Amino acid sequence: MAGKVISSGFHYTTLPESYVRPINDRPNLSQVSDFSHVPVIDIGAGDRRLVSKQIGDACRRYGFFQVVNHGVPEELVRKMEQVGREFFELPVEEKMKLYSEDPTKTMRLSTSFNVQKEQVHNWRDYLRLHCYPLDQYSPEWPSNPSCFRENVGNYCIAIRDLGMRILEFISESLGLEKERITAILGEQGQHMAINHYPVCPEPELTYGLPGHTDPNALTILLQCTLVSGLQVLKDGKWVSVKPHPNAFVVNIGDQLEAVSNGEYKSVWHRAVVNSDQPRMSIASFLCPCNDSVLSAPNELIKDGSTRVFKDFTYAEYYKKFWSRNLDQEHCLEFFKN
Ligand code: OGA
Ligand code: NI
């Protein structure tokens, strides 16, 4: 079992074979350029119409953007990063007590993506937590480091609030009432992945996470310690999203693509690794209520346009998502009309 995580303290000098991608499926890092005009949106600017217009433009063009002046205190972010780092520095025996490959578990340490389904592994370990309702889930979180639950809990509350504010802007940007989207999504769940990408001996041969879209509604990603690794697909090319100080990356997930009737695209993104420094990212996922029906509101089905997707519940979608491997046909395809 202990061989399963890669943050074991073992120093790899070559990439184990089970991580090596076939030659036609490698990151080609030297061909990736920086995304020079990543939309960085000041969401505390006060002018709601301007902010929702900027968000709408970014969602239509890219399916992702960054936010600053977001109201999440720097102190909370720092403490979150600190316990995340301390957790992955724990002795491997301590971490392995939490190891599981069962995606239905509400708290687990795991590795790669979906170990039981995939052919090639990814250079990532991750701690995955359910975070809402907090009182229900935080008692099962790690108690080591000692301030883990407190620091992560405070961060989750602030991120949830930020996510709800962004969803309101997104709703308005589609020409809908402010609360329309959150009403469709229902009482949303919240999950977190603390992603740890150890130093990789041969970063050209593998991924931290291969290209994918997120299966949930909205993802708020913190790229910690300013180590690059996130790339998004823009006009058919992978471009690198450099970490921006004090910003969060926000990306549209599959459920917002469905609810917007395909107007906003769930963005393809991936994480690459490097041979110099470990990287950590903290992804917070807002997920529709399990029995919410992800159906675009009638206001968005304009004259002559048709519904792109069938009606489905989030529970149905999520089950389908985890029954597959990340590099198979896109999950939303199964739900198209
Ligand atoms: C994810 C993800 C990207 C990153 O966790 O879904 O896309 O930069 N992470 O770690
Ligand atoms: Ni993702």
Query: Ligand 1 pocket, 283 CB below 6 A?
Result: yes
Alpha carbon distances (Å) from 252 to 75, 104, 146, 255, 310 = 26, 23, 34, 8, 19
In angstroms, rounded to a whole number, what is the distance separating the alpha carbons of residues 220 and 250?
A: 5
Q: How far is the CA of 51 from the centre of ligand 1 (A)?
A: 25
Would you say residue 4 lies in a domain? no
**Model pLDDT for residues 51-108, shown as the tens digit of each residue:** 999 999 999 999 999 999 999 999 999 999 999 999 999 999 999 999 999 988 999 9
**Model pLDDT for residues 172-210, shown as the tens digit of each residue:** 999 999 999 999 999 999 999 999 999 999 999 999 999
Q: How far is the CA of 308 from the centre of ligand 2 (A)?
A: 23
The domain in which residue 220 lies consists of 31-335
Beta strand segments in 165-306, E? 189-197, 209-212, 218-223, 230-234, 237-240, 248-252, 269-271, 279-287
Would you say residue 25 lies in a domain? no
Q: CA 302, 307, 309, 312 torsion: positive or negative?
A: positive
Would you say residue 7 lies in a domain? no
**Closest ligand 1 atom to the C-alpha of 195?**
10
**Model pLDDT for residues 211-227, shown as the tens digit of each residue:** 999 999 999 999 997 89
Number of Cβ within 10 Å of residue 252's Cβ equals 25
Would you say residue 16 lies in a domain? no
* Closest CA to ligand 1's atom 7: 270
What is the model's pLDDT at position 1? 44
For 137, residues 6+ apart whose C-beta sits below 8 A from its C-beta are: 106, 107, 129, 130, 131
What CATH number did the domain enclosing 133 receive?
2.60.120.330
What is the model's pLDDT at position 195? 98
Would you say residue 20 lies in a domain? no
In angstroms, rounded to a whole number, what is the distance separating the alpha carbons of residues 118 and 85?
A: 27
**Model pLDDT for residues 235-253, shown as the tens digit of each residue:** 899 999 999 999 999 999 9
**Closest ligand 1 atom to the C-alpha of 251?**
7
Find out whether 290 and 329 touch, Cβ atoms under 8 Å.
Answer: no
Would you say residue 162 lies in a domain? yes
Predicted TM-score (pTM) of this structure? 0.96
Would you say residue 68 lies in a domain? yes
Query: Ligand 1 pocket, 216 CB below 6 A?
Result: no
Number of Cβ within 10 Å of residue 10's Cβ equals 11
Would you say residue 238 lies in a domain? yes
Domains of the chain: total: 1
3-state secondary structure of 249: strand
Locate 215 and state its tokens: 């299966």
In angstroms, rounded to a whole number, what is the distance separating the alpha carbons of residues 115 and 209?
A: 12
